[in-house]
C-alpha cells in the first residue's frame, strides 16, 4: 500500500468561521474594484471622525470654555468608539493601528486607550484552500507533500496570517505559520489611507511628530510580514535564555520555512491568563506573574532585546519536572532591540525619583527623547515635576487594584486646555517608545491581574543593579 501523506480533517464542531479579507486576484479590474471599495469604507470612517471634530471646533469658538471642554470629552469618547468599530470592521492593518493607538494613553485623550485596549489581534480563519495555495507558492509543494500530517483547522488566526498544527516526516510536531495571500497589497493600501487619516487627525490632537506613528506602524508591519525576520527573532530569543530551562522558545525549521511560511516546534501549555488552567497544572498565579516579570526585566536590562507584544496569548505556562513555572514565548515577529537612550533615561528618572531630585528626573525625560524641538520646555518641566510629586504622595499598596480616583489623579495634568495643547506640542515620541510602552503596559497589567500585590520593584532590583554595574560597557552578543 502506498505511503501517502495525511491531512487531518477538522472536526465539524471545531470548524472556525471563515472570512475572505480580499478576493483572489482574478483580474486587474476585480482587484481595482476591491481596492476602491476598501478605501471608500476606510475613508468613510475617517471622514466621519474628522467631520465630528470640525463641527466641535466650530462650536468651541462660540461657547464658554467650560461647556466646550465638556463637549470635547463627549466628542473624544464618541470618536474613540467609532475608531474601535472601524478597526473591527476593516480588520487587517487597522487592527494593528488600533493596538498601537491603544498604548498611547500618555499622548492621546485617555478614552482612546480605554476603547481600543479591547482590540484582539484575532480574525476569523481564511479558507484552507487559500493557505494551501500560499504554502505551495512559497515552498514549491503542497502541505500534503511537505508534511506527514497537516491539520486544516488553524490553532490561531490573526490579522496577517494564521497558524496550523502539522507533523514532519521525521515525526516531529510543528506549528506552521502562513501569511495570507495578497496581505502586502492590502497593507500598502491601508497604510496610505491611515497616513491620510493621521494627517487630518493631527489638526485636532496637536501632538508633535504624530507622523512617526505611521512610520512605526509601517516598520512593525514590514517586520511581521517577513517571517524570516521572525525566525531570526526566535533564534536570538532562544539564545537569550539558553541557560534557563524554565523559559522556552520555539525552534524554527529553516528547511520548511520562507519569508511567507514559518515552521517551528509546536509548544504545549496553557495561557498565562487562564487561572483555571494554571490551577489544573498546580501552578500559583503569583509564581507565573513573577517569572513573566523576570523575563521582561532580563530582556530589557540584560539582553537588550524584548518581546514587544506580550499579550496573554503569546505566553504559555508549563509545569516543570520539580513543579516550577516554565514560560513559553510565542509570536516573536514584533521582538525588537532596546533603544539604549530609553533605558538610560529610565534609570536616570529612577535615580531622581529615589533622590527626590526634580532636575535629575527631567534630565532622564530629556535623555529618553520626550522633549520636542521648539516645544515649551518650561511648561513640560513644570508638568513633570507636578506629576512626580503626585506619584510620591500617592499611596498605592496594591498594583492590581488602583482606584479610579487614583488613576484620574495621576492622569490629570491639571492644565487649562490651552496649556494642554501647548504641552502636547512639546512632547515628542522617542525612538522605540511605542514598543517599550506597549510591552510594559501589557505585561505589568497582566502581572497585576495574576498577582496584584507582587512587588515589581523588588522583582526588578537584581536586574537594575546588574544594569547599573555594567552601564556603558558593551553587551555580549546574543545572536
pLDDT tens for each residue of 324-368: 999 999 999 989 999 999 999 989 988 887 787 888 888 988 898
Residues recognised as catalytic: 309
Residues 6+ apart with CB under 8 A from 256: 139, 146, 147, 168, 174, 176, 263
Give the pLDDT score at 10. 35
Judged against a pLDDT cut of 50, whether residue 8 lies above it is answered with no
Largest CA distance in the chain: 85
Give the pLDDT score at 421. 58
Q: What is the DSSP string of 407-471?
A: HHHHH-----HHHHHHHHHHB---TTHHHHHHHHHHHHHHHHHH-TT--HHHHHHHHHHHHHHTT
Judged against a pLDDT cut of 50, whether residue 142 lies above it is answered with yes
Of the listed ranges 105-119, 372-386, 465-479, the one predicted with least confidence: 465-479
Give the pLDDT score at 389. 67
In the chain, what are the domain boundaries? 31-120+184-211, 127-179+226-266, 340-430
* Strand 6-8 relative to strand 149-151, pairing: parallel
pLDDT tens for each residue of 409-461: 544 445 444 555 556 666 777 888 878 887 887 888 888 889 988 988 899 99
Give the pLDDT score at 2. 39
Percent with pLDDT over 70 in the chain: 77
Helix (H) or strand (E) holding 165: strand 161-167
How distant, in Å, are the alpha carbons of 122, 348, 355, 360, 409 from that of 351? 40, 5, 6, 7, 23
Residues 6+ apart with CB under 8 A from 281: 270, 317, 318, 319
pLDDT tens for each residue of 49-99: 888 988 888 888 887 877 888 888 999 999 999 999 888 888 777 877 776
Mean pLDDT taken over the chain: 81
**Regarding the domain delimited by 127-179+226-266, which CATH topology (the fold level of the hierarchy) does it fall under?**
Phosphorylase Kinase; domain 1 (3.30.200)
pLDDT tens for each residue of 164-215: 999 999 999 999 999 998 888 888 888 887 787 777 766 665 555 566 667 7
Residue that is written with C-alpha cell 502541505 in the block: 143
pLDDT tens for each residue of 206-256: 555 566 667 777 887 888 889 999 999 999 999 999 999 999 999 999 999
Nearest one of 191, 209, 165 to 92, comparing CA atoms = 191
Residue range 29-51: mean pLDDT, rounded? 80
The whole-model pTM stands at 0.75
Residue range 1-15: mean pLDDT, rounded? 38
Nearest one of 203, 199, 185, 221 to 93, comparing CA atoms = 221
Q: Where are the alpha helices (DSSP H) in 91-122?
A: 93-102, 110-116
Judged against a pLDDT cut of 50, whether residue 399 lies above it is answered with no
Amino acid at each position: 500500500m502506498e505511503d501517502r501523506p495525511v491531512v487531518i480533517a477538522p472536526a465539524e464542531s471545531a470548524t472556525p468561521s471563515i472570512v475572505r479579507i480580499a478576493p483572489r486576484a482574478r483580474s486587474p479590474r476585480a482587484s481595482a474594484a476591491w481596492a476602491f471599495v476598501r478605501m471608500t469604507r476606510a475613508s468613510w470612517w475617517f471622514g466621519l471622525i474628522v467631520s465630528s471634530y470640525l463641527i466641535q471646533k466650530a462650536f468651541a469658538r462660540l461657547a464658554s470654555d467650560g461647556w466646550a471642554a465638556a463637549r470635547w470629552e463627549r466628542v473624544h469618547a464618541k470618536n474613540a468608539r467609532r475608531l474601535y468599530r472601524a478597526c473591527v470592521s476593516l480588520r487587517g492593518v487597522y487592527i494593528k493601528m488600533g493596538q498601537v493607538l491603544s498604548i498611547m494613553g500618555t499622548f492621546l485623550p485617555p478614552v482612546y486607550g480605554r476603547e481600543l485596549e479591547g482590540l484582539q489581534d484575532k480574525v476569523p480563519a481564511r479558507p484552507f484552500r487559500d493557505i494551501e495555495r500560499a504554502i505551495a507558492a512559497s515552498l514549491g509543494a503542497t502541505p500534503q507533500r511537505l508534511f506527514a500530517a497537516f491539520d486544516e483547522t488553524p490553532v490561531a488566526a490573526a490579522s496577517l496570517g494564521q497558524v496550523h498544527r502539522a507533523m514532519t516526516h521525521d515525526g516531529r510536531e510543528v506549528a506552521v505559520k502562513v501569511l495570507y495571500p495578497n496581505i502586502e497589497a492590502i497593507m500598502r493600501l491601508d497604510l496610505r489611507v491611515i497616513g491620510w487619516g493621521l494627517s487630518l487627525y493631527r489638526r485636532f490632537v496637536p501632538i508633535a511628530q504624530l507622523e512617526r506613528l505611521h512610520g512605526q506602524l509601517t516598520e512593525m508591519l514590514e517586520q511581521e510580514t517577513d517571517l524570516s525576520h521572525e525566525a531570526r527573532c526566535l533564534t536570538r530569543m532562544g539564545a537569550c535564555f539558553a541557560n534557563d530551562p524554565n523559559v522556552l522558545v520555539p525552534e524554527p525549521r529553516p528547511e520548511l520555512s520562507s519569508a511567507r511560511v514559518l515552521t517551528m516546534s509546536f509548544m504545549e501549555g496553557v495561557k498565562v491568563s487562564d487561572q483555571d488552567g494554571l490551577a489544573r497544572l498546580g501552578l500559583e498565579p503569583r509564581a507565573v506573574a513573577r517569572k513573566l516579570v523576570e523575563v521582561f526585566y532580563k530582556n530589557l536590562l540584560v539582553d537588550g532585546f524584548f518581546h514587544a507584544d506580550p499579550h496573554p496569548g503569546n505566553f504559555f505556562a508549563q509545569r516543570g519536572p520539580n513543579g516550577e513555572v516554565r514560560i513559553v514565548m510565542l509570536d516573536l515577529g514584533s521582538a525588537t532591540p532596546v533603544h539604549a537612550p530609553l533605558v538610560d533615561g529610565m534609570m536616570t528618572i529612577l535615580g531622581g525619583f529615589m533622590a527626590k531630585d526634580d532636575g535629575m528626573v527631567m534630565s532622564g525625560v530629556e535623555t529618553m527623547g520626550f522633549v520636542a524641538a521648539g516645544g515649551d520646555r518650561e511648561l513640560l518641566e513644570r508638568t513633570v515635576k507636578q506629576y512626580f510629586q503626585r506619584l510620591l504622595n500617592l499611596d498605592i499598596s496594591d498594583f492590581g487594584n488602583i482606584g479610579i480616583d487614583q488613576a484620574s489623579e495621576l492622569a490629570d495634568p491639571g492644565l487649562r486646555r490651552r496649556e494642554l495643547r501647548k504641552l502636547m506640542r512639546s512632547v515628542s515620541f522617542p525612538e522605540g517608545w511605542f514598543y517599550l510602552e506597549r510591552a510594559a503596559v501589557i505585561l505589568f497589567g497582566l502581572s497585576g491581574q495574576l498577582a496584584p500585590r507582587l512587588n515589581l520593584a523588588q522583582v526588578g532590583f537584581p536586574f537594575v543593579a546588574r544594569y547599573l554595574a555594567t552601564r556603558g560597557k558593551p553587551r555580549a552578543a546574543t545572536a
